[in-house]
Chains A and B, each alone.
Chain A
Amino acid sequence: QKEVEQNSGPLSVPEGAIASLNCTYSDRVSQSFFWYRQYSGKSPELIMSIYSNGDKEDGRFTAQLNKASQYVSLLIRDSQPSDSATYLCAVGAGNQFYFGTGTSLTVIP
């Protein structure tokens, strides 16, 4: 059974702070890693993809991947109230995608 685990939260951070979201996965042959943002009642929106070890930055977002530790994280700098949402980690392995249960983030003005 392939598993993708996230802390369900809720995670609360003040506006302007750094939010740190974490995800672990069980399948060592996982090849691709994605972060999605999902607002309540809406569909998931792709934020970042990362395929190799290290950091990948896109604007206020940084994804970090450590395949040895089977760990992927998302940092959100200068958090804004509009970042309040559920963040889904997804892992591609074999010929499928597996989603974590999501972390609820609230950014407090």
Chain B
Amino acid sequence: DTEVTQTPKHLVMGMTNKKSLKCEQHMGHRAMYWYKQKAKKPPELMFVYSYEKLSINESVPSRFSPECPNSSLLNLHLHALQPEDSALYLCASSQRGPPLGEQFFGPGTRLTVL
């Protein structure tokens, strides 16, 4: 299995809602990542888990909360988001952690905050 899967594909939420994005990989990769991508912009790194430990948090607002239950799963919990948080949220994984790992991306979750 060489895929990174993400659910849901699309999510619409209000500013008072709580929701979660899920990511799964079965490639035995030991690093997993959350990125945010706005239209016509490059992906921006939000969080990195390496061996299930949070190793990088790019000063992301606390309304985004990552969780890595095990080496195959990565969640992103969302609470009290703002309309400017609307974006494509990408999960990626790599066999080696940064800066060397080749990252494989999931299809993304397109999030709209009303």
The A-contacting residues of B in range 75-92, CB under 8 angstroms, are: 88, 90
Cβ of A55 under 8 Å from chain B: no
> Within the complex, which residue of A44, A46, A93, A95 is in contact with B97, where a contact is CB–CB below 8 Å?
A95
Count of A-B contacts with CB under 8 A? Answer: 61
The A-contacting residues of B in range 56-114, CB under 8 angstroms, are: 56, 58, 88, 90, 97-108
A49 CA to B89 CA, complexed, in Å: 23
Given A43-B90, A43-B108, A44-B105, does the pair A96, B43 have CB atoms closer than 8 Å?
no
Q: Which residues of B contact A94 (CB under 8 A)?
A: 98-99
B residues neighboring A (CB under 8 Å): 41-45, 48, 55-56, 58, 88, 90, 97-108
A residues neighboring B (CB under 8 Å): 30-32, 34, 36, 42-46, 49, 51, 88, 90-97, 99-102
